[in-house]
Structure 1
Amino acid sequence: MAGPAPRDFPYIRATPEGLSTGRWAMVLGSCVAGFAALMLLARAHGGPMALVGPVLFVVMPLLALRAAAGRGWTALFPRPTLADVLAGLLAVPLALLLSGAVALVFTTAGTVAVNPVAGLLVRLDGWERVLFIAGTAPQLLGEELITILPFLALLALFHRRFGLALRPSVVAAWILSAAVFGLLHLSTYCWNLAQVLLVIAVSRLALTIPYLLTRSVWSSFIAHITLDWSIFALVLLGAARG
C-alpha cells in the first residue's frame, strides 16, 4: 500500500495554485502590519492587554492569506504528524548549538547585546508572568508566519518567475528569509546589525529546517516554542536559585 503523498511547498506554482504578484504583496503587507501591531501594542507590563498585540500579529497575516488563497490558506497548516513533532524537537539542539557558538564569539569580543525579555520575565510576578509567557505562544506563531510566508514568496519568485531550479531557489529563499527575520530584531538587540545577522539569523536558519523537511508550520512552531520556553525556564530557575 502506498504511503501518503509527500507535501509540496504551497502557493509557489502557477495560478490558480499559486498566488499572483498582487496577492503576494497583500500577504506580505499584512505581515508588516502585524509586526507593527506587535511593536506598537507594548507588552511590557504583562496585563490582559498584553495579548492583543501577539494575537493581531497572527490574525492579520492569516486573514490576508485567507483572502489571497481562499480555502488554500490551510495548506500552511497540514494535519500534524509524529514526524512533524520530531522534526521540530530535533531542530532545537541544532539551533542552540549554532546560535550559541556564534554568540560565544560575540561575547568574547564584548560586542553582544542582551535580550531584555529575560530581565522582564524575572521582574514580573504571578499572573503577569503567566500572561506574558502565554502571550509568547501567539507571538512565536506570528514569527513563524513572518518567516515562512516571505520564504514562500521568495521561493515563488526565484522558482516560478526567474525559472531557477527548485533546490537553489529553496536555499536562496531560506537564507534571505532568515536574514529578514534577524533584521526585525534590530531594536531588541540595540541595533547591533552583526549580532542579528550572525546570531539571530543563524538560529532562524536552524528553526526553519523543520519546515523545509515537513512543509508544515506546525513543525517549525514546535521548534521555536520549545527553544524559547526552555530558555525562559532556565532564566526563571537561575533567578530562583539566585
Structure 2
Amino acid sequence: MKAAIRSATGGRDFPFYNGEPLRISLPGWLIVLATAAGGFAGLMIAPTLAPGRLGGWLGIAFFVALPLLGLRVAAGKYWTAIFHRPTARDIWIGLAFAPCTLLVSGIVALGMMRLELTAANPVVAMMHQLQGADLALSIAATAPQLLGEELITIIPFLALLTLLTARCGLSRRVAIIGAWIGSALLFGALHLPTYQWHLGQVLLIIGTARLVLTVPYLITKNIWSSTIAHITNDWLIFAVVLILPKLG
C-alpha cells in the first residue's frame, strides 16, 4: 500500500492531523477508535467462541480488519495513508530498532525483577509446550497480530496528534511527544490482563518498549517500519526463549 503524503520539505509527513490528505473529523476519529477497540475485543473473545486455531485466527482477523475498516469509513480512499511502500531505509530502520527495544526494555525489566514486580508472559509458556508445525504456525500467527498491535498504537497516536494540534493548539513537536507518550501508555494498559494486572510492569516495561518501537514510525512515517521492528523484536525474544533451555 502507498500514500503520497508529503510535508513542506518534500518528505513524508504524518497523515490527517494537518488536513493532508484530509482532516478526519472528531466523529470520524471516534469511529476509528471504536473499531480499533472492537478489533481488540475480537482478538480477546474469538478464541473463546471458536475451537482451536480457528478461534485464534478469527481473533487476529478482527484485530487487523476492524481498525482498517474504521479508517476506510472515516478517511475514504485515503485510508491507506498510514502505509507506504517500504523502502530500504524503512526496512533497515525497523530492523535496527528491534535490538534497541530489547536492550532498553531488558534494562527496565531487570530493575523490575529485582523488585519482584513482574509476571510471566503466558505466550512464552505456551510456546514451550508446542513442537514442529504447531510451533511454526503459532509463531507465524504473531506477524499479522503484531500488525494489529501497530494499528492500535499508530491510530491513537494520530488521533492524539490531531487533537493536540487542532483542538489544543500545541506546536507540532510538543503534540508529537504527547501523542507518542499517550499512545505508549494506552498500549501498555491493553496488556494488563496478559500480565495479571501488574500496572508497573505494563506501564514501565511494555510502555518503554512501545516508546522505542514507535520511533521507526516517527522517523519514517510508515507503519511498515514499526511493524518490522515489532515482529523482529518479538521473534528474537521467541528465539532466545526457545534456544536457551536447549543450550543448558
Tell me if TM exceeds 0.5. Answer: yes
Query: Where do 1:5-84 residues align within 5 Å?
Result: 5-14=10-19, 17-42=22-47, 47-84=53-90
Q: What is the CA deviation profile of residues 141-162 of structure 1, one whole-angstrom value per residue up to 9, with x for unaligned ones?
A: 0000000000000000001111
Tell me the equivalent position of 1:232.
Answer: 238
Give 1:53 shift. 0.7
Long gaps (5+) in structure 1: none
SS in 1 for 2:24: coil
Give the alignment partner of residue 91 of structure 1, picking from 91, 97, 111: 97
- Between 1 and 2, higher relative CO (CA 8 Å, sep ≥ 6) is seen in 1
State the shift of 1:230 in Å.
Answer: 0.9
Report how far residue 94 of structure 1 moved. Answer: 1.7
**Counterpart-to-counterpart distance in 2, 1:113 and 1:45:** 27
Aligned-residue offset at 1:215: 0.3
Q: Is 1:175 equivalent to 2:195 in the alignment? A: no
**Alignment of 1:120 onto 2:136:** no
* Cα displacement (A) at 1:60: 0.5
Deviation at 1:45, TM superposition (A): 8.0
Tell me if structure 2 keeps the 8 A contact 1:122–1:239.
no
Moved beyond 3 Å, runs of 4+: 43-46, 239-242
Q: Specify the SS of the correspondent of 2:47.
A: coil
Report if the CA contact (8 A) 1:42-1:53 is conserved: yes
More off after superposition, 231-240 vs 210-219: 231-240
Counterpart contact for 1:95–1:206, Cα < 8 Å: yes
Amino acid at match of 1:149: I
Q: Quick one: distance in 1 between partners of 2:128 and 2:47?
A: 18
TM superposition shift of 1:200: 0.3
Work out whether residues 46 and 129 of structure 1, in 8 Å CA contact, stay in contact via their aligned partners in 2. no
Aligned to 2:3: none
Tell me if structure 1 keeps the 8 A contact 2:15–2:21. Answer: no
Note closer, same or farther for the CA distance 1:161–1:112 as it changes in structure 2 (3 Å cut): same
1:133-212 to 2 correspondence within 5 Å? 133-212=139-218
Report deviation, 1:66. 0.9
Q: Letter of the aligned partner of 2:132 in structure 1?
A: G
Please report the TM-score for the alignment, with normalisation by the length of structure 1: 0.94
Q: How many Å separate the matches in 2 of 1:103 and 1:194?
A: 10
Sequence identity, in percent? 51
CA distance in 1, matches of 2:168, 2:117: 39
Letter in 2 for 1:21: L
Q: How many residues matched?
A: 239
CA positional deviation for 1:16: 7.1
Distance in structure 1 (CA, Å) of the matches to 2:21 and 2:93: 31
For residues 20-43 of structure 1, what are the alpha-carbon distances to aligned partners after superposition, in whole Å with 9 as ceiling and x for unaligned? 000000000011000000011238
